[in-house]
Structure 1
């Protein structure tokens, strides 16, 4: 069924208007209904199951599009930055997954298990460690100030590489807090940098999430700004 056919069948059910990316949107009972260009229907918000059932009855089918895409978060020791990011993603109505390793598996095994069911990943690079090359130390041991750099935890860098290998660069979003040293191999990969709170880059983050295939209600973007 095409988008216009679905729209015609649902026009008496809700008041649809043109949305972004060629979609049509409507509000009903504290939920957002989106009709995508391919004719798929997505429901977000309260009373989701009730509205899905009603729309299925109208359309005579069970093809409601579930936004089941999950986002994997890799983070270090900065729990505040992690919680700030989680708050934003929660307001954007995006499901997230993290490593919960209480099964006796190694971290790598747990990560491989999680990435098998996620669509995209966010790597949160925070200045948790400091680094100094042996060469710089030997040459400037009497005054090493200016040669010490902040960097992310090494396990975060390892997991970043695994995420990129598993999900691809297009589905990997790298966020860096402050001036944090990164491997030279990712210099050509697009990164979003913020100073204190990921809210500073909310607009660009939403754009990247949409590029990864997530459908984001614009009203939820305003909620994430609070």
Structure 2
């Protein structure tokens, strides 16, 4: 940080984003904490920064009359799609996003350009909304428990869910989950939408995108605003 002595509450939104990225990327790359207290302090600081960022985003995006302030139109077209191994669901979600007039950002479809996975993820995660797909790719249970294994999303999906919650705030992340998949218990307040056969998830996703000020053309899908 340019001004390490500055109080957290005095940081600008750009400075908050920079510090959140630093802490989140450190975790994403494997950490390397030797002192448990240091990790605990960073975790607490990250939570404080996430909360402060949500407050500053509200102040930045909405005027006193409740209108949305000017934003680069291209920034409100790209939607990052976090996915596991269910490529059928991934493709269905991506094509739906395209039909809304938006651009789905799928990491493995983008060129590496000599970057590491972490660098590539950091570059392409510069978006204003993320859709996270929790599909039944893994199984697990509490160690020593007699209960049967439960379907779970892949660990990288859960990690990236947490990353985007920290980067964007809860209002700009929508998690879609497959029937029977275990929902993380530590993400209270996050919108988890079931991927139901009636495709009600489409209405929910459109509603959240509109709430995040994305220029969604619902007429393309539903024939109505």
TM range (shorter): 0.5 to 0.7
Residues 147-190 of structure 1: per-residue CA shift (max 9 Å, x gap): 21000000111111111111111111111111211321114322
Give TM-score scaled by structure 2 length.
0.61
Looking at structure 1, the residues matched to 95 and 222 of structure 2 have their Cα atoms a distance apart, in angstroms, of: 13
Larger radius of gyration: 1
Looking at structure 2, the residues matched to 167 and 93 of structure 1 have their Cα atoms a distance apart, in angstroms, of: 21
Q: Is 1:218 paired with 2:218?
A: yes
- Give 1:41-190 correspondences, 5 Å limit: 66=73, 68-69=75-76, 70-99=78-107, 100=110, 102-116=112-126, 118-136=127-145, 140=146, 146-190=147-191
Looking at structure 2, the residues matched to 81 and 166 of structure 1 have their Cα atoms a distance apart, in angstroms, of: 25
Instruction: Return 5+ residue gaps in structure 2 as ranges.
Output: 1-65
For these two proteins, the number of residue pairs brought into alignment is: 155
Partner of 2:11: none
Q: CA RMSD in A?
A: 2.7
Looking at structure 2, the residues matched to 79 and 175 of structure 1 have their Cα atoms a distance apart, in angstroms, of: 14
Partner of 1:202: 202
Higher helix share: 2
Looking at structure 1, the residues matched to 161 and 216 of structure 2 have their Cα atoms a distance apart, in angstroms, of: 24
Higher strand share: 1
Instruction: Return 5+ residue gaps in structure 1 as ranges.
Output: 1-36, 41-62, 141-145
